[in-house]
Amino acid sequence: MKKSKLIGLLSAIAMVPTLAAAQSVDHPTYANEVSRIIQDNCQICHQPGQVGPMSFTNYEEVRPWAPLIRLKVLEREMPPYQYDNDIGVQELKNDWRMSDEDINTIVAWVDAGSPMGNLENLPQEAEFPVIGEWRLADELGLPDHTIKSSPWDVPANGQDMWWEPEVDAGLTESRCIKAVETMPSAAAHGSTHHANSHFVVKDEDGEWVNGDRLSEFAFGKLGEKVPEGACRKVPAGSKVGWSIHYYPDGNAVPDDQVTVGIWYYDEEDDFNEEDTFPQDLRAYNLSGGGDYLIEPHGTLMTQGFHSFDHPVRIDSWQPHLHLRGVAMTMEVFDPATGRKEVLSQASNWNAGWNHSHTYEDGFQPLVPAGATIILTSWFDNTANNPRNPDPDQWVGAGQRTTDEMSHAWIAVTHLDDEGFEEMLAERKESEDRNVAGR
């Protein structure tokens, strides 16, 4: 072999590692990028002891599922967060939606063969709350007050069942709620369909009557935060009434209890109740009358309306449908201007995950007095709905899992005219600053 050819061959061989290194940076690796995305978006559920059906705590666990992960993130089914990306208010707190950049990274990684990359680039293991621990504790510490439902035996098998006790809450003073979280027991986590709580107070005649809502829980929900300037009040001396919906999952749980945790605003938050407006959480049953039937292999749309005689601010929106539900939209129509606006939309509804979509401060919809909130729901009782257990059945409105519902839990801060105009002025000033800063 000629000397020049030998030198050229040796040079080419020497370049192989360099070329390989150059190629390795042309696509993402698990160690460098994907592990962090999985950690931030998936591992809270996909780890031993959690609700995810498979664990994603390391490369060996993630790699076999790479093609399915690619599909699910592209279709925005995972992470499970039913809120449209291209319509309505997009500024949300505790937003589970994966960014376009992260989705594109996952796709590029899988298309490149799901390479591991350099082990030295792996992040430290993350710590997550386990089932049976407060999920808001990392941010807020432990709750200031906890209330348990009365014990009840959950059977291993059976149909829908409800437990509705009233308990002495130990609430000795009226306080403004900063956050509230409802936590099923770890043992009955899979069978606790929902757990709602409300205050029970004495009326003018000294009789116990149902008061405002305390909290609402359905599977997948984090909790509820009350923004500054609003007061969802705990009434002193009140009891708490529960409505707990169990659906047995094969696991018998004796003496089960659900717990609600309350965090209060206090002086450390620079919080003054006199400067607040009252807030409440209600289930707005806007199903067009509350009764309907969906025929076998049929579809249905329901619509309902609600108006206030005073201005309000909408702080959060949580759709609630069951297995045939596929989408819900919240709009507001202002008769003074003739304008109708879509505030929020969820067109990939999944009854297995319930999220309270909490708007960022300064982006909560402001609704003038006399305007109408419109909720529209869509149902699909055909075989095209992958979550439909039996398209041959008639489906009516009702409380069972196999029945349907059409309402939304909406947290509303009730304003006066002066407060409403002040908030509008603050929004206008903020928008002007943003425009000037561009």
- What integer pLDDT is reported at residue 223 of this predicted model? 86
Closest CA to 83 of 72, 92, 70: 92
Lowest-confidence pick of 27-31, 187-191, 341-345, 433-437 = 433-437
Determine phi and psi for 7, rounding to 5 degrees.
-60, -40
In tens, the pLDDT along 312-349 reads 999 999 999 999 999 999 999 999 999 999 999 999 88
Q: Spell out the domain ranges in the chain.
A: 23-121, 135-275, 279-438
Examine the pLDDT at 436 and tell me if it is beyond 80. Answer: no
What residues does 316 pair with on adjacent strands?
358, 411
Quote the CA–CA distance of 275 and 422 in Å, as a whole number: 13
Q: What is residue 271's predicted lDDT score, i.e. its pLDDT?
A: 84
More confident residue, 164 or 284: 164
* Annotation: CATH topology of 279-438: Jelly Rolls (2.60.120)
For residues 216-239, give the mean pLDDT: 89
pLDDT of 198 reads 95
pLDDT of residue 438: 65
* pLDDT computed for residue 74 by the predictor: 93
Residue 11's pLDDT is what?
Answer: 41
pLDDT of residue 91: 95
Task: Read off the pLDDT band of 242 (50, 70, 90).
Answer: very high
Q: How does residue 106 score in pLDDT terms, banded at 50, 70 and 90?
A: very high
Q: Tell me the chain's radius of gyration from C-alpha atoms.
A: 26
Q: Residue 147: pLDDT band by 50, 70, 90 thresholds?
A: very high
* pTM of the shown model: 0.84
pLDDT-based confidence at 228, cuts 50/70/90? confident
299 backbone dihedrals φ, ψ, rounded to 5°: -130, 165
Q: Say which residue, 285 or 143, is predicted with more confidence.
A: 143
Identify the weakest region by mean pLDDT among 24-38, 58-72, 293-307, 403-417.
24-38
Query: Percent of the chain at pLDDT above 90?
Result: 65
Ranking 262-271, 342-351, 399-408, 425-434 by mean pLDDT, the lowest is 425-434
Mind listing the pLDDT tens digit for each residue in 359-368? 999 999 999 9
Query: What's the mean pLDDT in 156-171?
Result: 92
Angle at 104 between CA 342 and CA 109, to 5 degrees: 155
Does residue 407 have a pLDDT over 60? yes
Same fold for the pair 135-275 and 279-438: yes
pLDDT at 25 (0 to 100): 56
At the topology level of CATH, where does 135-275 sit?
A: Jelly Rolls (2.60.120)
Token couple for 262 = 């309350």
Q: Which residue has the higher pLDDT, 272 or 214?
A: 214
Q: What is the pLDDT of residue 433?
A: 75
| Position 215 pLDDT exceeds 60 | yes
Instruction: Convert the pLDDT of each residue in 7-65 to its tens digit.
Output: 344 344 333 333 333 344 588 999 999 999 999 999 988 988 787 889 999 999 999 99
Q: How confident is the model at residue 263 (pLDDT cuts 50, 70, 90)?
A: very high
Closest CA to 259 of 193, 184, 189, 170: 184
- Least-confidence region, from 69-78, 137-146, 425-434: 425-434
Q: Mean pLDDT across the stretch 180-197? A: 90
